[in-house]
Amino acid sequence: MTGIGFDLLATDGRARRGRVTTAHGTIETPAFMPVGTAATVKAMTTDAVASTGAEILLGNTYHLMLRPTAERVAQLGGLHRFMNWDKPILTDSGGFQVMSLSDLRTMSEEGVTFKSHLDGSRHHLTPERSIQIQHMLDSNVTMCLDECTPFPATEAQAESSMRLSMRWARRSKDAFVERPGYGLFGIVQGGIYPEQRAESVAALTDIGFDGYAIGGLAVGEGQETMFRVLDFTEPLMVKDRPRYLMGVGRPSDLIGAVRRGVDMFDCVMPTRSGRTGQAFVRRGTINIRNARHAHDERPLDADCGCPTCRSYGRGYLHHLFKADEMLGPMLLTWHNLHYYQDLMRTMRQAIADGNFEEVAGTMEARLTEGDVEATLDPIAKPGKPPKQGRPPKKDRVEEDKTDE
């Protein structure tokens, strides 16, 4: 096998059921990749992550090149050994993080010079250096260095940014060391403009990559615009390679993107939300800090089989967050990652069975139902009880808030 393999096993409309093969194992698609930015999925051991059904993790070039450095990771046996994860790993090129350092970086045709957010030290990241770092990390899926086009951007700005990314993509391909079970993904850019996206897809296809990512989305454009960009971009992409939508997203985003032919996803949402008290469930979201959960013995999600839902009630989880106990974020993160993997398993099976739209429609409808009705607190002090489903105003936290 040269590079990574991809088998398209079934389709249902534009939704695809596939399998990616790497030197460290296979990935069933559609797949969600938990984010392990600094060689760790926050609040989780790698055994716990694997138990959710995750088959691939994402690491980050920018953070690892600064600490502990790619050279140190290589000296310690590579990222798989370093973090005790024997399954596939994809690494972001570092471009998104560097581009977000607007006050700490300067760009040129050659690359990006930036100051570390840790100690102010200066670094120069080029396509060649990014590929070299990811090689030292021993990443199974390496990403080209690109400029993540900001939103909003004019058509002229999107065109200039996209063309720079295409030149960097060629340089990334030239620098990549081909070996069995390892691959390089190009990244489609072009903002929200059909002509720019089409030019980007054509340029990357001409260069030739093991897979193709869709970048520059989930940056503030909103779901409707994101889906519109996917609608005119995906049909242009080659069918026999995996497609990866970067940085997405909420459950409804994943369902809609799978419907539009996307195979792979990553996002910090399930882990970051878990650390701040937000749980994703089949009926939407729950903020476990809300007072309505303090006396509730029920699990987060009665249909979930994760260790959190099997062993702990809402009242206990509420207590952990109120007491600032570290076990709270750990248990909610575990649940969220399990829920996301359940979502992907359900979609894979539905595509294989040929009833994706029926299953997806049911899941989307449930996501809008809202949480189960609150129960009365049996030991509450006398007084006017709170309305069902809403905590007293002083304890109220909006369900849809995260620190994204």
State pLDDT tens for residues 235-259: 999 999 999 999 999 999 999 999 9
Q: Which residues contact 154 (CB under 8 A, 6 or more apart)?
A: none
Looking at 138, 210, 263, 266, which residue is catalytic? 266
DSSP alpha helix (H) spans, 84-154: 95-99, 127-137
Binding residues for Zn(2+): 304, 306, 309, 335
Q: Which residue has the tokens 């070996």?
A: 179
Predicted confidence band of residue 371 (pLDDT cuts 50, 70, 90): very high
Of the spans 97-111, 151-165, 382-396, which averages the highest pLDDT? 151-165
The answer to whether 119 is a known catalytic residue is no
Q: What is the pLDDT of residue 98?
A: 77
Cα–Cα separations (whole angstroms), residue 4 to 78, 101, 132, 270: 19, 33, 18, 27
pLDDT band at 158 (very low <50, low <70, confident <90, very high): very high
Q: Given this model, what pLDDT does residue 2 score?
A: 66
CA–CA dist 127, 395 (Å, integer) = 49
Q: Is 266 one of the annotated active-site residues of the chain?
A: yes
Which pLDDT value is given to residue 37?
Answer: 94
Residue spans of alpha helices (H) in 176-313: 194-207, 223-233, 251-259, 269-276, 307-311
Rounded to an integer, the average pLDDT of 155-181 is: 98
pLDDT band, residue 384 (cuts 50/70/90): low
Q: Which of 92, 210, 263, 371 is catalytic?
A: 92
**Helix/strand/coil for 329:** helix
Beta-carbon-side half-sphere exposure of residue 259 (alpha carbons within 13 Å): 19
Contact yes or no for 199/173 (Cβ under 8 A): no
Binding-site residue set for substrate: 92-96, 146, 189, 216
- Give the model's pLDDT for residue 401: 31
Q: Return the pLDDT at 267.
A: 97
Q: What is the pLDDT of residues 37-86, one digit of tens each?
A: 999 999 999 999 999 999 999 999 999 999 999 999 999 999 999 999 99
Q: Which residues are annotated as a binding site?
A: 92-96, 146, 189, 216, 304, 306, 309, 335
pLDDT at 95: 82
Residue 338, pLDDT score: 98
Q: What is the pLDDT of residue 383?
A: 62
Query: What pLDDT, on the 0 to 100 scale, is given for residue 396?
Result: 38
3-state secondary structure of 38: coil
State the average pLDDT for the chain. Answer: 93
The confidence score (pLDDT) of residue 385 equals 52
